[in-house]
Amino acid sequence: MRTLIKDLDFLFTVDKNDTVLRQASILIEDDRIADLGPADEVAGRVDENNVDKVVDGRMLGMCPGFVDSHVHLSETLSRAVFPDNLTTRAWVFHWAKPFYAHITEEDEFWGASLGITEMLRCGTTCFLDMGSQYDPGIVIKAMEPTGIRGITGRHAADNRPSELPRGWTEEMADHHFFPDAQTALAELEACVEKYNGALDGRARCWVNIEGKEPCSLELHVGAVALAEKLGVGTTYHLATSIEEAKVCENKYGVWPITRIDQAGGIRKNLVIAHGSAVTDEEVALLADRGAAVAFCPCSSLKLGKGASAIGKYPEMVQAGVKLGLGTDGVSAAGNMNLMRQMLIVAGLFKDARVQPDIFTARDALRAATIEGARALMWDDEIGSLEIGKKADFILFDLDHVEWTPFHDPLQALVFSASTASITQTWVNGKPAYADGKVIGVDETEIRRKARELAAEAVKRAGLHEEGVEVTTTLYDEGN
Ligand SMILES: [Zn+2]
């Protein structure tokens, strides 16, 4: 199948020079970009009579598909359940964990299906998902009919708190926590062997663990080493809040990234989710080790993680750390919309540091696309629009008030446009979202099922009741 989209108003390549083409054409052959360039040049190389379909690209703009570098697909039923005035640790231990302890395999499947529809509608074509509490096959089954690309895993932990949070039972804790690091790693290895490369390569499976207090030091280091042995990546939460850093300092004398690094757990196949509480020395350390960081702006704003007050994200980029953007779960961020993350990150640091050139729209677009692809170790195929790469892209309708008028497409994309002007999202050379619908699934049924299952899960977890803890002392001592 050969499709020629010609005379696009603009095309962001996000190549190494951040080339923006005006009056551009692109030839898609099966799942890849066969040609691309100024429309007159492509017209000289490609015979229109020799392609299967010609699309008129006038009044359309093209951008690489967004890469969500940190998401929890199986937690999508938790939208707007937890309050927004909690510290990260209280939020995780007393709200999120009890909720997820009551999530069934069926909940995970419908939650993942719902999350994928939101992502495709918002232009996300690839993601790094923390994974299932049961089996990565649940997320892969949800991915299958939609055509989306992504990485998932088996969300693992091995360090039980000395007391169980409200809403937990022993049985649930036994399911949530592996008895030790070796047992967890054996299960994660089996998952990678079973699922990595599924869906004709659209799905990958990594050695994912929850990270921070619910995981032992041995599991952090073991996950990175196992991933290296298997030729895949790993991701875990670390340095997610100042409270976590202070608890770590009290217990071990150092902040979280230094602690894990001293044991050999910070390497180039690692994506650290959040990385909010990081010292200047740790920024240099991350660059030296080649590790990546997934910054989740909406999650930071909702939970008050301090990205603008203590975050070192611009410094990470300057030091050469791969910095992607993530949405986190919908409970933490409220949405799975990478365009919102892009807007926030393009303004947050300028404003916080009173320095308009510190992290620009150009940096934000790179973080949402090619830098995310580098973090996910998939930049050989995705993250930019270049000949030979996979045809994963977004089309914007420029006859839309958000794009009327505009001069510089980059300024309009980041500061003016929203997902409302996305008309199509393509993955692997095929439309996955077009004509107002996610192709391959019944979105009305997904939303109906999600409403029904979410209401039941909230009740089972007791989160509709009064008196759920809003502070925490879990993991403060011992362990
Ligand atoms: Zn997360």
Q: Is the pLDDT of residue 13 over 90?
A: yes
**Are 74 and 183 in a shared domain?**
yes
Tokens of 4: 């020629």
In a domain, 406, yes or no: yes
Phi, psi of 161 (to 5 degrees): -70, 160
Tell me the CA–centroid distance for residue 295 and ligand 1, in Å. 10
Q: What is the pTM of this model?
A: 0.96
**Lookup result for tokens 């099922």:** 449
Overall average pLDDT of the 105-122 stretch: 97
In 57-162, the DSSP E strands lie at 60-64, 66-71, 124-129, 149-152
Span 265-291, pLDDT tens digits: 999 999 999 999 999 999 999 999 999
Tell me the CA–centroid distance for residue 142 and ligand 1, in Å. 20
Predicted local distance difference test score (pLDDT) of residue 84:
87
- Please state, in angstroms and rounded to a whole number, the distance separating the CA atoms of residues 159 and 95: 18
Overall average pLDDT of the 161-175 stretch: 81
Tell me the CA–centroid distance for residue 78 and ligand 1, in Å. 13
**Are 224 and 128 in a shared domain?**
yes
Tell me the CA–centroid distance for residue 168 and ligand 1, in Å. 20
**Quick count: other Cβ atoms within 10 Å of Cβ 199?**
17
Q: State how many domains the chain has.
A: 2
Span 449-477, pLDDT tens digits: 999 999 999 898 887 777 777 777 777 76
Overall average pLDDT of the 125-152 stretch: 97
**Are 72 and 113 in a shared domain?**
yes
Overall average pLDDT of the 412-435 stretch: 98
- Please state, in angstroms and rounded to a whole number, the distance separating the CA atoms of residues 246 and 39: 56
Tokens of 348: 């947050």
Span 342-368, pLDDT tens digits: 999 999 999 999 999 999 999 999 999
Tell me the CA–centroid distance for residue 271 and ligand 1, in Å. 11
Q: Is the pLDDT of residue 202 over 80?
A: yes
Q: Which of 330, 346, 375 is a domain's end point?
A: 375
**Are 310 and 430 in a shared domain?**
no
Span 67-88, pLDDT tens digits: 999 999 988 999 988 888 888 8
Tell me the CA–centroid distance for residue 473 and ligand 1, in Å. 20
Overall average pLDDT of the 21-39 stretch: 98
**Are 30 and 71 in a shared domain?**
no
Span 394-416, pLDDT tens digits: 999 999 999 999 999 999 999 99
**Are 277 and 420 in a shared domain?**
no
- Please state, in angstroms and rounded to a whole number, the distance separating the CA atoms of residues 476 and 479: 9
Overall average pLDDT of the 304-324 stretch: 96
Expressed as residue numbers, the domain containing 318 is 66-375
Q: What share of the chain has pLDDT > 90, as a percent?
A: 84
Tell me the CA–centroid distance for residue 182 and ligand 1, in Å. 23
Question: What is the domain-level CATH number for residue 355?
Answer: 3.20.20.140
**Are 242 and 303 in a shared domain?**
yes
In a domain, 447, yes or no: no
Q: Using 50, 70 and 90 to split pLDDT, how confident is the model at 479?
A: very low
CA of residue 373 relative to chain centroid, distance: 10
The DSSP bridge pattern shows strands 430-434 and 422-427 to be antiparallel
In a domain, 452, yes or no: no
**Are 330 and 430 in a shared domain?**
no
In a domain, 155, yes or no: yes
- Please state, in angstroms and rounded to a whole number, the distance separating the CA atoms of residues 200 and 79: 31
Q: Which amino acid type is present at position 149?
A: R
Tell me the CA–centroid distance for residue 56 and ligand 1, in Å. 40
Tell me the CA–centroid distance for residue 151 and ligand 1, in Å. 14
Tell me the CA–centroid distance for residue 171 and ligand 1, in Å. 24
What burial class does residue 397 get, using C-beta atoms within 10 Å of its C-beta: 0-12 exposed, 13-18 middle, 19+ buried?
A: middle
In 221-279, the DSSP E strands lie at 234-238, 270-274
- The answer to whether residues 129 and 108 touch, using CB atoms and an 8 Å cutoff, is no
**Lookup result for tokens 């997934």:** 294
**Are 198 and 225 in a shared domain?**
yes
